[in-house]
Amino acid sequence: MDKQHVPVITLDGPSASGKGTIARLVARALGFHYLDSGALYRLVALAAMKRDIEADDEKSIVDIARHLGASFSDTMILLDGEDVSGRVRSEACGEYASRIAQYPALRVELLERQRGFRQLPGLVADGRDMGSVIFPDASLKIYLTASAEERASRRHKQLMEKGINASIAELVRSLRERDERDGSRAASPLQKCEDAQLLDTTGLGIDQVVSRVLGMYAETRQS
């Protein structure tokens, strides 16, 4: 099968912009497959943390990625068959993943694994470089963003629902630091592609954003 004919929608953007939630719902609405690229990096991070490997040990990090036992179900993220959906969403795991995502060798190691998710009837992929590097020929590229304050508020709500105390001010600071790190790294920095459509979700509800994405995709099908 020529995968170039498999439609792909990419949603890139900064941390906590809602990419994962929106991508999952869009994929469900269209009956497409879903790729959470950030989860792959978080799984590498979690596996490294479990082995007490420091984030600056690039060689060991890449070796973990090479043998990563990662898989996804509709609702679960699995590492070596174990459901780690909650642990990969922790702030510590996210910070670690952001630090190691700068390694070019790690990104190369995970590139083909990500492209392997491109299967009929289509794929919705979210991350930092889905449209720029992984699927440059995507049918629709969207850069999803929101203000740091709004993203921090959303993250705070998620953490509180899980019984985890957090400071909104600290979350804003952390998100801005992560934005700077993700945007300035040498390997596949976070950036809006020239052919990506900007979608600022500040002040918008989930259903509104999903509806807009579906509408944007419908337009590409008509053109």
**pLDDT tens-digit readout, 40-51:** 999 999 999 999
Cβ contacts of 112 within 8 Å, gap of 6 or more: none
Q: Assign 160 a pLDDT band (cuts: 50, 70, 90).
A: confident
Q: Which residue from 160, 128, 162 is spatially nearest to 145, judged by alpha carbons?
A: 128
User: Is residue 2 predicted with pLDDT exceeding 70?
Assistant: no
pLDDT 10s digits, 175-222: 998 888 888 877 777 888 899 999 999 999 999 999 999 999 999 988
Residues 62-86 have a mean pLDDT of 88
Angstrom CA distances, 144 to 69, 106, 139, stand at 29, 24, 16
Cβ contacts of 21 within 8 Å, gap of 6 or more: 206
User: Considering just the CA atoms, what is the radius of gyration of the chain in Å?
Assistant: 17
Cβ contacts of 154 within 8 Å, gap of 6 or more: 16, 18, 146
* Average pLDDT of the chain, as a whole number: 91
Annotated domain spans of the chain: 3-217
Q: Assign 1 a pLDDT band (cuts: 50, 70, 90).
A: low
Is residue 197 within a helix (H) or strand (E), and if so which, with residue range?
Answer: strand 197-200
Is residue 168 within a helix (H) or strand (E), and if so which, with residue range?
Answer: helix 168-184
User: Is residue 99 predicted with pLDDT exceeding 80?
Assistant: yes
User: Looking at residue 71, what is its pLDDT?
Assistant: 81
**CATH architecture for the domain at 3-217:** 3-Layer(aba) Sandwich (3.40)
